[in-house]
Amino acid sequence: MLDVFSLALPFFGLILLGFGAGKLRNIPENGLSWMNFFVVYLALPALFFRLLSETPIEQLANVSFIAATTFTTYIVFAISFCIGVVATRGSIGESTILGIAGAYSNVGYMGPGLTLAVLGEQATVPTALILTFDNALMFILAPMLMALAGTENETFVGTLKQIGFRIFTHPFILATIAGVLAAAVEFRPPQALDTLLNFLSNAAAPCALFAMGVTIALRPVGRIPLELPLVLSVKLLVHPILIFLLLSWMGGFDPNWVATAVLMSCLPPATNVFVLAQQYGIYVQRASSFVLIGTAVSIITVTAFIWAITSGFLPIG
C-alpha cells in the first residue's frame, strides 16, 4: 500500500498545490493562458510525438483495442445522457453536457502523468490512442447533439466542417499523427531537436497537473445537482469496470494496455466539460461542480484502482 501512495501522492499532490495556489493567491484566470498554451500546444504534443515516434509501427495499428475503448466511452456517454434526459426532463443540451461529464475523462492533463508514472513507457501507445480517439468522439458528439438541441445555428454541412476542423487541428491529435508517421518511416530527429523534445516532455506532466489544480480553484462552484452522484458513479466506477470487462472478455491484449485503459477511464471529468458548457451557454455552473467534486472524489477512486492493478487484485493478465 505504501508503494501505491508513493505513486498517487506526487500525482495528486501537484493538483492540490495548484489548487492551493489558486485559492491563496488572487491570480486572474486569464493569467493561466500561457501556461495552458505551453501544456496543450507544446509540452504534451512533444511527449506524444517523441514516444510514439520511437514505437514500432505494428504496435500503433491495434484496431480492436481502439474499437473496444472508444465503444465503451460511447456506452458510458449514452448511459449518462439517459440519466440527463430523466433529470432535466428531456433537455437535449443539458443531457449532452451530462453525457460528456460521465464519459470524457481528463485524459489530456491527467492521463499521461498517471499512466506513465504507474506503468512506465509501456503505457505510451495505449495512452495516446485512447486520448486521440476519445477526443475525436467527443468532438463529434458535442456539436451534433447541440445542433439537434437547437443551440447551434449551423447547417448540417457547417456542423460537419466544424467537427473536422476540431479533430484535425487539435494539437494532441496532430502530434499523435506526426508520431505515427515518424514511426512508419523510422524518422529520428537530430540531437538538438531531440533534446528540445525531451525538455518539453519532462515538463508536460508537472505543468499540466499544477495548471489543472489552479484552473479548478478558479472555477465557480454552482449548486450541486441531484444527478451528480449518479453521473460521477458512471464516470469514476462504471467506466473503468466496463473497460476492464470488455478487454478481458475479448482477450489477447498486453496487460499493460489493459491497465492503461482502466487507469485512463477511471479519471475524473475533464475540465473541457466546463469549457463546452460555457461555449454553448448550457449547464455552466453545475458543470463546474462536476469537475471540482469529481476530481476530489477521484483521489480515493483512482488510488483504489492503482492499488487494484499493482497488487494483482484486478487480474489484468
Closest CA to 140 of 111, 162, 172: 162
The string of pLDDT tens digits covering residues 35-81 is 888 988 898 889 888 878 877 777 777 889 999 999 999 999 999 99
| Total domain count, the chain | 1
Q: What is the pLDDT of residue 145?
A: 85
Whether 316 is covered by a domain: the verdict is: no
Whether 317 is covered by a domain: the verdict is: no
Whether 22 is covered by a domain: the verdict is: yes
Q: CA 253 to CA 255: how far, in whole Å?
A: 6
Q: What is the CA radius of gyration of the chain?
A: 19
The string of pLDDT tens digits covering residues 100-120 is 999 999 888 888 888 988 898
In sequence order, what are the beta bridge partners of 276? none
Whether 109 is covered by a domain: the verdict is: yes
pLDDT along the chain (317 residues), means of 10: 78 88 78 82 87 78 91 96 92 92 89 87 88 87 81 69 80 85 86 92 86 81 80 96 96 93 94 82 83 91 93 83
Domain CATH for 141: 1.20.1530.20
Q: What is the pLDDT of residue 222?
A: 63
Query: Position 5: which residue type?
Result: F
Q: CA 205 to CA 214: how far, in whole Å?
A: 14
Q: CA 96 to CA 110: how far, in whole Å?
A: 23
Whether 216 is covered by a domain: the verdict is: yes
Whether 315 is covered by a domain: the verdict is: no
Whether 53 is covered by a domain: the verdict is: yes
Asked if 289 and 223 touch (Cβ cutoff 8 Å), the reply is yes
Asked if 106 and 268 touch (Cβ cutoff 8 Å), the reply is yes
Domain extent, residue 215, equals 2-310
Asked if 83 and 227 touch (Cβ cutoff 8 Å), the reply is yes
Whether 71 is covered by a domain: the verdict is: yes
Q: CA 134 to CA 73: how far, in whole Å?
A: 7
Q: How far apart are the first and last CA of the chain?
A: 21
